[in-house]
Structure 1
Amino acid sequence: MTISKTARGMALAAATGVAALSTSANAAGHGIDLTDETVRFIIPFSESGGSAKWANFYAPLLSEALPGNPTVVVEYMPGAGSTRGANWFQEQDAEDHNGTLIFGSSGSTQFPYLLDDPRVRYEYSDWNVVLASGTGGVAYLPPDLASQMDGLDVTALQDTDFIYGSQGATRLDLVPLLAWEMLGMSVEPVFGIEGRGDGRLMFERGEANIDYQTSSAYLSSVTPLVEAGQAVPMMTWGALDEDGNIVRDPTFPDIPSFKEVCEATPACETSGPAWEAWKAFMIAGFPAQKMVFLPKGASNDEIVTYTQAFNDVIARDDFAELSAARLGVYPQMTGDRAQATLASGTNVDPAAKEFVVNWLEESYGVSLN
């Protein structure tokens, strides 16, 4: 997919805004030197998904920006929908790593935390956020099924039996699963995949007939399928405008949002408990989806070093163009904005949480009580 000039302009504006909001922490510490060091960038997913692509985009840029130009190596620690890696990171102490360990969280790490999943043994307030990246998501279909839609109305697909490769209903996948249910579609998830890239591979092999990918993975791995006539975008989850309304995703302005598809489909409503719950978790999972953390106990100098390094990356003359093509058009945030994003990604309205907890038990037999 070609990124429009408007999208590139928005990316530049977002990058400029982040650079201008450089955290005051830089003035409060002296930083650390990482000469001859190797920084481990832990990703709690497989190497085929959006988080892997996001981390591999940042790793070489971060290596150039950190003092001493250390080697930044992306390591994958998949399992239990990312809670295995997050639980491992919780056990790490910054004193044992001297600034050489960072962790990449995703919405699929945040949702089990939000829902009090009993497998969660990690606490976000113990970690130190140094970057927050917003993103989006795109659902897509095989061409033969996409052709059955009446404009944006998916009523003709309500009798189709869909198979979807899922990391788990309490992960970020709850956003598409709830959306498809609201549309009246019958989507059977096959749980247990280790990353969204594995779901895409199921789609490519014909083992699944519906899928979604976060923006970075869609741009790099699904766009070629669309161009080859093997997939057709169905909808994005949308983005938020300044008033908190769902609007089209700026990275994919030609693809309708779920809100538009819902409005066009009689079975779906953009009001009421289901809509409010879906919107709350979409906001928690996508505008605040990917974050980089230093482990508990990180020193101020370590936080300063990584915050400044990410600010320097974002301030690069070529960053807007590079990020638009690889990540999409979304804000990249440090300092106070990253802290605010962390707060929005790890808190959700109690009514929305209650709805989702009940929905998970009724639809998938998942009990979190």
Structure 2
Amino acid sequence: MTTPSRRAHHARRALAVIAGIGTVSLLLAGCTRPSAARDTDDPAEFFEGQTIRWIVPFEAGGGTDTSARALVPILTEHLPGNPKIQIENIEGGNGVLGTNEFAKTDADGLTILMTSSSTNTAVLFGDPAVQFDYNDFTPIAGVPAGGTQYVAPSTGVTDPLSLLDTTSPLIYGGITPGGGEFPRILGMDLLGLDVEHVWGYQSRSAVQIAFSQGEVTIDGQSTAAYLESIAPLVDRGEATPVYSIGFMEGDELVRDSAFPELPHAVELYEQKHGTLPDPDMLEAYKFLVLIGQNLQKQLWIRDGAPEVAVEAFQQAFIDMQKDPDFEAVRDALGGYDLLVGESLESDVAAALYDPPQEIIDWLAEYAKREYGADLSRG
């Protein structure tokens, strides 16, 4: 895996790569549906001359769509038979509408789906619009995404530990107290930070602008956004990174490999207090990391799809990571290896197939009590 400094360089190069391939092998909604699958055990014969329908349940140009488009060319190369792939954007409801559509498709092995962490929260917290069950889907690959918190120099914070001692106002800007914001706000609460929350921003990009203008003094971004937009601020002394969200490895919370010098939130708490945080809050935080960072985006195929197709897709995502051409794609996705095989299946089972209802209930009650948020509404 590349180092963070190299990732910053590759991320900029990868954005140019993606811009250049945005329309290659891709057609939007309304295009011809995939042709009928073939009855064969030969993956090359199964895919040759076929067109794969890839449903992206978010708008064109968004984070999930951009990730899918980055993967399409190299996936085509590594699938036997080199089939065409067409992206179909079906946006709405945090990915729910497009996923509902996917759930109605034939299990032909020629239709796949990419969901996001916002879709995970919609399912887990009971969004009434959900008309599907993850147990009817088989995971193909996962795209993890880290997250990093940083503060403005005006806070007087110079390193992670000094964050916990600051008396300067901490102002956090967010879209809504749910979805991708949830691990950030729970992490700040876990650390005992005194934070004023300002909700209603239209995007994380808008929050970045507010941070640059001094309206927001503590913020968090995904690794890809951080490397592209925040790392230059850090280099100029206009932002100070303080901790990462972290990742789950089995039952353990570990440091983000993109920022190995930064503690994750729980580690920072331990450094300050010498003990672990409140057990209920700790387990809730770890679960949010699992569904929001480890499983930031997932690729699925319908249960019942021909085994030849399922195995070919899974093997293609394993093989492509050995391809030197994957380096630019990896960096465009934040610099992380794809989640495949046993690790993917384990995370999906723990988070989505058989989620811990007691933790989900705790999070729903916490969000309602602390922020007046109904997590079933995103």
| Range into which the TM-score falls when normalised by the shorter chain | 0.7 to 0.9
Matching of residue 137 in structure 1 with residue 147 in structure 2 = yes
- Correspondences of 1:348-363 after superposition (within 5 Å): 348-363=355-370
Deviation at 1:208, TM superposition (A): 4.4
1:150/1:141 CA distance change after superposition, 3 Å: closer
Aligned match for 2:308, one of 281, 288, 301 = 301
Amino acid at match of 2:184: P
Q: Which residue of 2 aligns with 1:275?
A: 282
SS of structure 2 residue aligned to 1:279:
helix
Aligned match for 1:83, one of 86, 96, 100 = 96
Deviation at 1:349, TM superposition (A): 2.9
**How does the TM-score come out when normalised to structure 1?**
0.76
Q: Which residue of 1 aligns with 2:219?
A: 211
1:33/1:368 CA distance change after superposition, 3 Å: closer
Question: 2-side partners of 1:47 and 1:141: how far apart?
Answer: 28
Amino acid at match of 2:56: I
Question: 1-side partners of 2:180 and 2:88: how far apart?
Answer: 21
Instruction: Point out the more displaced range, 128-137 or 86-95.
Output: 86-95
Unaligned runs of 5+ in 2: 8-39
SS of structure 1 residue aligned to 2:180:
coil
1:293/1:152 CA distance change after superposition, 3 Å: same
Aligned match for 2:68, one of 55, 64, 69 = 55
Q: Which residue of 2 aligns with 1:342?
A: 348
Q: Which residue of 2 aligns with 1:18?
A: none
- Correspondences of 1:64-79 after superposition (within 5 Å): 64-74=77-87, 76-79=89-92
Q: How many residues align?
A: 339
Question: For residues 195-231 of structure 1, what are the alpha-carbon distances to aligned partners after superposition, in whole Å with 9 as ceiling and x for unaligned?
Answer: 6556545545666443322333333443344335443
Amino acid at match of 2:42: H
Question: 2-side partners of 1:201 and 1:93: how far apart?
Answer: 44
Deviation at 1:352, TM superposition (A): 2.0
Question: For residues 88-112 of structure 1, what are the alpha-carbon distances to aligned partners after superposition, in whole Å with 9 as ceiling and x for unaligned?
Answer: 43344445xx61x422222222122
- Correspondences of 1:303-342 after superposition (within 5 Å): 303-317=310-324, 319=326, 321-322=327-328, 325-328=331-334, 330-342=336-348
Question: 2-side partners of 1:72 and 1:197: how far apart?
Answer: 30
Question: 1-side partners of 2:131 and 2:205: how far apart?
Answer: 25
Question: 2-side partners of 1:289 and 1:94: how far apart?
Answer: 24
CA RMSD of aligned residues (A): 3.6
* Residue pair 2:158, 2:240 contacting (<8 A) in 1 also: no
SS of structure 2 residue aligned to 1:304:
helix
* Residue pair 2:174, 2:181 contacting (<8 A) in 1 also: no
Deviation at 1:154, TM superposition (A): 2.4
Q: Which residue of 2 aligns with 1:10?
A: none
Q: Which residue of 2 aligns with 1:120?
A: 130
Deviation at 1:178, TM superposition (A): 0.8
Aligned match for 1:42, one of 56, 73, 85 = 56
1:271/1:211 CA distance change after superposition, 3 Å: same
Question: 1-side partners of 2:238 and 2:72: how far apart?
Answer: 31
Q: Which residue of 2 aligns with 1:20?
A: none
Aligned match for 1:160, one of 157, 169, 172 = 169
Question: 2-side partners of 1:255 and 1:46: how far apart?
Answer: 33
Question: 1-side partners of 2:272 and 2:295: how far apart?
Answer: 28
Unaligned runs of 5+ in 1: 8-27
Amino acid at match of 1:360: A
1:81/1:140 CA distance change after superposition, 3 Å: farther
Aligned match for 1:233, one of 231, 241, 244 = 241
Question: 1-side partners of 2:194 and 2:307: how far apart?
Answer: 50
Seq. identity, %? 25
1:207/1:30 CA distance change after superposition, 3 Å: farther
